[in-house]
C-alpha cells in the first residue's frame, strides 16, 4: 500500500487532468516554451545563480526535491540539488541520482526505430497495418492511413491509453503496483474514439505501437533493443529499462511523491510498476546521463545523418506556437537565440525537463513530484526559465 507522509493544502486548481508522462507539450519539450521574459532575464547567469533557481523550486508548496546537471560551452558539468530526497528521514537529494524519466524515454524509442529505418528493416512511410495487422481498431481511426512517421511525430490521430487510466489525478494511486502488458494498454486505446491522421496531438499510444513494431521486425524484446542499441552503445552507466515486475529504483535516488487527492497527502510513489509506460515512458536515468544521450544524439553517434535529419524535421505543435516536434524530439527556441533539442517527461513521482544545443551545451532538471502535486502554480514557469537560463549562460 502507498505510504502517507505529508499533508498538503488541497490544490485549488480545478483542472487536475493527468496524461501521466508529458501531460502537456510544455513539459514534454523540457518546459522551455514558457521561458519568455524570465528566460531572457536569466540569460548569461552565473552557475551559482542556476543553483539558486534550483533551490527556489522546492518547499512546502512546491516540489520536495530537485536535482540538475548543466554542461556548459567548455564541456564542464555542474550538479545542483535542493530540498530533501526522503520526506520521512530528511535525507538529502543525491547528486546525479537515478530517477524515472517518463516520456523522455520516447527519444530512446525513436532512436531504435530510426536505426531500423537506416538498416532498411522499417519504412517511415509504410502503414502501421503492414507491421501490426489488425492491432489498431480505435473507432474513427483508419490504420491503413497511419504511417510509422506519424506515430513518431504524434500526427496519427490515435487516442491516448493513459486518458483511460488517469482521467483524474485521483485515479493514479490505484495503478501504483499494477502490471500491464503492452496489449492491455492497446486494448484501452482501442476502446477510445480516435480521429484522422494529420494534426499534431500527443498520444502515448503512438510510442506503444512504435515499440511493438520494433519487436515485431527484429524478433527481440523492446527492452533489449533499447539497451543494446542505445544505452550500451554510448556507455550510459546509470540508465536502464526496468525488468518485468521491477518496482524499485536501483542505486542512489531521491524518493518520488504523488498527491493523493482523496486525502490531500503526498504518497511515497518511488516503488511503482512502470510497465504501463513501456516504450512510451518507463526508463530510469540520471540528469548527467540524459545530457550525455542528447549530446551523443546531436553529435551523430546514434543515427546516420539521413535518419538524424528526419528526426529533426519538425511540425508545429500548435498554429500559434514556435515549438516544433520531430520524430521523438522537440525543437525549442532559446531566449538567447538558437534552439534546444530535447524531450522531457512526467511519471508519478518525477518530472523531467531538458534541452541540448548543437555546440555541446546541455541541461537536465528533475523534480520529485508532478506539477499537479504542488499548490504553487508558478513553479512550472520557474523550471522553464531555469533550463533556458542554463543553456544561455555565458
By annotation, the residues acting in catalysis are 103
> Distance between CA atoms of 334 and 389, rounded to whole angstroms?
9
Among 83, 98, 269, CA closest to 169: 269
Pair 42, 387: CB distance under 8 Å: no
State how far the Cα of 342 lies from the Cα of 364, in Å rounded to an integer: 9
Q: Which residue intervals of 234-333 are DSSP H helices? A: 278-281, 287-298, 305-311
DSSP element (H, E) containing 329 = none
- The grid coordinates of residue 16 equal 487536475
Half-sphere exposure of 99 (CA within 13 A, CB side): 41
What the block records as the C-alpha cell of 280 is 512510451
Q: How far apart are CA 122 and CA 116, in angstroms?
A: 6
Q: Is 75 helix (H, G, I), strand (E, B) or coil?
A: coil
Q: Write the secondary structure of 91-129 as one string of H (helix), E (strand) and C (coil).
A: CECCCCCCEECHHHHHHHHHHHHHHHHHCCCCCCCCEHH
End-to-end CA distance of the chain: 48
* Nearest in space to 45 (alpha carbons), one of 356, 394, 382: 394
Please give the Cα distance from 267 to 271 (Å, whole number).
11
* Residue 66 contacts residue 236 (beta carbons within 8 Å): no
Q: 279 to each of 205, 297, 347, how far by Cα in Å?
A: 10, 18, 13
CA 42 to CA 208: how far, in whole Å? Answer: 38
Amino acid at each position: 500500500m502507498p505510504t502517507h507522509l505529508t499533508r498538503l493544502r488541497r490544490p485549488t486548481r480545478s483542472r487536475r487532468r493527468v496524461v501521466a508522462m508529458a501531460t502537456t507539450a510544455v513539459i514534454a519539450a523540457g518546459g522551455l516554451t514558457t521561458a519568455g521574459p524570465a528566460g531572457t532575464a536569466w540569460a548569461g547567469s552565473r552557475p551559482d545563480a542556476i543553483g539558486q533557481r534550483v533551490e527556489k523550486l522546492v518547499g512546502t508548496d512546491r516540489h520536495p526535491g530537485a536535482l540538475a546537471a548543466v554542461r556548459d560551452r567548455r564541456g564542464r558539468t555542474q550538479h545542483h540539488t535542493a530540498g530533501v530526497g526522503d520526506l520521512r528521514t530528511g535525507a538529502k537529494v543525491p547528486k546525479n541520482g537515478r530517477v524515472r524519466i517518463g516520456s523522455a524515454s520516447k527519444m530512446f524509442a525513436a532512436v531504435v526505430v530510426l536505426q531500423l529505418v537506416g538498416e532498411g528493416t522499417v519504412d517511415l512511410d509504410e502503414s502501421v497495418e503492414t507491421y501490426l495487422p489488425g492491432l489498431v481498431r480505435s473507432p474513427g481511426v483508419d490504420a491503413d492511413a497511419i504511417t510509422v512517421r506519424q506515430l513518431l511525430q504524434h500526427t496519427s490521430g490515435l487516442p491516448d491509453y493513459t486518458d483511460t487510466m488517469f482521467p483524474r489525478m485521483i485515479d493514479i494511486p490505484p495503478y501504483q503496483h499494477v502490471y500491464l502488458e503492452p496489449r492491455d494498454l492497446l486494448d484501452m486505446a482501442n476502446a477510445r474514439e480516435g480521429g484522422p491522421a494529420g494534426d499534431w496531438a500527443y498520444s502515448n499510444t503512438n510510442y506503444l505501437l512504435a515499440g511493438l513494431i520494433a519487436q515485431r521486425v527484429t524478433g527481440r524484446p523492446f527492452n533489449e533493443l533499447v539497451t543494446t542499441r542505445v544505452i550500451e552503445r554510448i556507455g550510459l552507466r546509470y540508465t536502464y529499462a526496468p525488468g518485468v515486475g521491477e518496482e524499485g529504483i536501483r542505486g542512489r535516488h531521491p524518493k518520488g511523491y504523488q498527491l493523493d487527492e482523496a486525502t490531500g497527502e503526498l504518497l511515497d510513489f518511488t516503488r511503482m510498476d512502470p510497465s504501463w509506460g513501456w516504450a512510451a515512458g518507463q526508463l530510469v536515468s540520471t540528469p548527467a546521463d540524459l545530457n550525455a544521450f542528447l549530446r551523443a544524439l546531436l553529435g551523430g553517434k546514434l543515427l546516420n545523418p539521413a535518419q538524424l535529419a528526419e528526426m529533426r524535421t519538425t511540425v508545429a505543435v500548435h498554429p500559434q506556437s514556435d515549438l516544433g516536434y520531430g520524430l521523438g524530439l522537440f525543437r525549442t527556441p532559446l531566449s538567447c537565440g538558437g534552439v534546444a533539442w530535447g524531450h522531457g517527461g512526467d511519471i508519478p513521482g518525477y518530472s523531467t525537463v531538458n534541452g541540448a544545443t548543437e555546440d555541446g551545451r546541455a541541461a537536465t532538471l528533475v523534480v520529485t513530484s508532478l506539477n499537479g502535486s504542488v499548490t504553487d502554480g508558478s513553479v512550472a514557469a520557474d523550471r522553464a526559465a531555469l533550463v533556458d537560463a542554463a543553456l544561455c549562460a555565458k
